[in-house]
A and B are shown apart, each in its own frame.
Chain A
Amino acid sequence: GAVVSQHPSRVICKSGTSVKIECRSLDFQATTMFWYRQFPKQSLMLMATSNEGSKATYEQGVEKDKFLINHASLTLSTLTVTSAHPEDSSFYICSARGLGGRAGVSYNEQFFGPGTRLTVL
């Protein structure tokens, strides 16, 4: 099946610093990647959708200058939390939608990464 990885799995940083989270599709090409945020014991909130080679589309209420998303290749998307503050502490999860045509990869299905736990002190 399709595998999506995220790095790092956990990160602790000081307030005011920037943190970059990577999301990779390991065995398929991801035309679209999604970034979610999950607060403790709550559901996933879609932050933005990124298509390879184009600018990300942000959901209402998500600050695009705060959460920079880059999707430069068909296997990598990055989320950079700029000038992080304690309220940005959360579990960030990415997902990827496949190009199709590969065994086990369905074009209309998202495959999720394991998540990144961000703690801002």
Chain B
Amino acid sequence: GDSVTQMEGPVTLSEEAFLTINCTYTATGYPSLFWYVQYPGEGLQLLLKATKADDKGSNKGFEATYRKETTSFHLEKGSVQVSDSAVYFCALSDPDYKLSFGAGTTVTVRA
């Protein structure tokens, strides 16, 4: 079945540091790929997405590129802020639009 493997955390960074969270997937066909963010005590918010190979999703300074050859969708941000502290989930969507989530990576940014 479809699955997502995500870099385990927690990750602790200083402000303005570079962030990367690795995500690889296993799926039949060509899934859509997503990054969701969950702030403490809240539900999930879509951060960015990509629907086909070589697409780059971007939002709020975050980027991720759909790499079919390496089955990856790594999340990056060049300069993190304290407000980026959250849990980040990589996910893929199957043809029935069911989402499979990675385990989540907790990111803490210190001032």
Contact residues of A with B, CB < 8 Å? 6, 32, 34, 41-44, 46, 49, 93, 95, 97, 108-115
Contact = CB atoms under 8 A, between A and B. Distances in A.
Judged by DSSP, the binding face of A is strand
B22 to A, nearest CB: 16
A115 B46 contact: no
Nearest to A2: B46
Given A32-B97, A43-B89, A109 B45 contact: no
A114 B36 CA distance: 13
B93 A108 contact: yes
Contact of A109 (B49, B96, B102, B103): B49
B66 interface: no
B60 interface: no
Interface in B15-69: 32, 36, 42-46, 49, 51
Contacts of B104: 41-43
Interface string B87-111: 0010001001111011110100000
Given A108-B32, A109-B49, A44 B97 contact: no
B71 to A, nearest CB: 19
Contacts of B44: 44, 93, 95, 112
Contacts of B93: 108, 110
19 contacts: A6-B43, A32-B97, A34-B98, A41-B104, A43-B102, A44-B44, A44-B99, A49-B98, A93-B43, A95-B44, A95-B99, A108-B51, A108-B97, A109-B49, A111-B46, A112-B44, A112-B45, A113-B43, A115-B42
Nearest to B42: A114
B95 to A, nearest CB: 10
Nearest to B103: A43
Given A34-B99, A41-B106, A110-B93, 15 more contacts: A32-B97, A34-B98, A41-B104, A43-B101, A43-B102, A44-B99, A44-B101, A46-B98, A46-B99, A95-B99, A97-B97, A108-B32, A108-B93, A110-B97, A112-B46
